[in-house]
């Protein structure tokens, strides 16, 4: 399990829950070394710094991939770097393809387990308002997540479009009005329409946006599954 910088320092609930879910379903999770994918350097155009960090990441993660051990990511934006940007930035390093093809989301990894062997909670009667992170659905696809939730019995309302925070974009001077405006297109109306629903958002940015604009705590998929389909009070609020 690769716990990225977001999951190491800002909100570790998803990472901790992922360990619990993996162990419950027959995996022996190993927490990978603390290495950065360079996402914030990529989004600010500092590609030299990003490549430096990705080379260090390859040194830590490529041995797992080379031995057939799947790498499961926690934060979608960082997972997407390994599935996409890595090949663009370091195409000549043979380790890039190894890590790219060996990296999975939690839902993708769970889909490799025969349904009869899965130990997951029933989500019958649970309504989920899901905000797929932009990098998640555009790079990895969100189909495995939706299929898993629906197979467990959840009623899923999938939000189309961006939450508006978009990593560093919404935090930068001059972008606040645009960020809030984008949130008002899909995210905020969906949360207003479903006040009793679980707000599911694997992305730290998506959870932050809902917390700050709607006072609505969000949970990672791993947290929803670890909590038996009923997140504990405050489960979506970083402390």
The answer as to whether 205 is a domain residue is yes
Domain that includes residue 190, residue range: 127-227
Q: Please write the tens of the pLDDT for every residue from 42-95.
A: 988 999 999 999 999 999 999 999 999 999 999 999 999 999 999 999 999 999
pTM (predicted TM-score):
0.92
Q: Please write the tens of the pLDDT for every residue from 154-199.
A: 999 999 999 999 877 888 888 999 999 999 999 999 999 999 999 9
Tell me: do 99 and 134 sit in the same domain: no
Tell me: do 192 and 143 sit in the same domain: yes
Residue where a domain stops, chosen among 111, 146, 167: 111
**Length of the chain counted residue by residue:** 239
Q: Are 40 and 167 in contact (CB under 8 A)?
A: yes
The answer as to whether 88 is a domain residue is yes
- When pLDDT is cut at 50, 70 and 90, the band that residue 229 belongs to is low
Residue 219 pLDDT > 80, yes or no?
A: yes
- When pLDDT is cut at 50, 70 and 90, the band that residue 233 belongs to is very low
Residue where a domain stops, chosen among 111, 141, 175: 111
State both tokens at 199. 């707000």
Cβ contacts of residue 46 below 8 Å, gap of 6+? none
Q: What DSSP string describes 131-148?
A: ---HHIIIII-SHHHHHH
Looking at residue 237, its pLDDT comes to 43
Output Rg (C-alpha) for the chain, integer angstroms.
17
Tell me: do 59 and 14 sit in the same domain: yes
Number of domains into which the chain is organized? 2
Tell me: do 84 and 29 sit in the same domain: yes
């Amino acid at each position: 399990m690769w716990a990225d910088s977001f999951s190491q320092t800002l909100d570790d609930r998803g990472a901790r829950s992922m360990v619990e879910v993996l162990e419950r379903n027959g995996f022996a999770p190993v927490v990978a070394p603390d290495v950065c994918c360079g996402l914030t350097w990529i989004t600010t155009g500092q590609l030299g710094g990003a490549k430096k960090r990705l080379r260090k990441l390859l040194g830590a993660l490529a041995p797992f991939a080379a031995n057939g051990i799947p790498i499961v990511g926690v934060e979608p934006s960082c997972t997407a770097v390994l599935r996409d940007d890595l090949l663009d930035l370091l195409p000549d390093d043979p380790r890039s393809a190894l890590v790219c093809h060996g990296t999975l989301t939690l839902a993708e990894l769970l889909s490799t387990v025969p349904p009869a062997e899965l130990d997951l909670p029933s989500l019958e009667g649970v309504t989920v308002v899901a905000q797929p992170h932009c990098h998640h659905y555009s790079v990895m696809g969100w189909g495995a997540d939706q299929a898993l939730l629906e197979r467990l019995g959840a009623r899923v309302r999938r939000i189309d479009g961006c939450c508006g925070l978009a990593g560093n974009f919404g935090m930068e001077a001059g972008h606040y009005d645009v960020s809030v405006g984008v949130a008002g297109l899909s995210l905020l109306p969906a949360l207003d329409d479903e006040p009793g629903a679980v707000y599911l958002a694997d992305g730290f940015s998506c959870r932050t946006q809902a917390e700050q604009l709607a006072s609505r705590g969000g949970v990672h998929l791993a947290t929803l599954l670890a909590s038996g389909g009923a997140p504990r009070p405050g489960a979506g609020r970083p402390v």
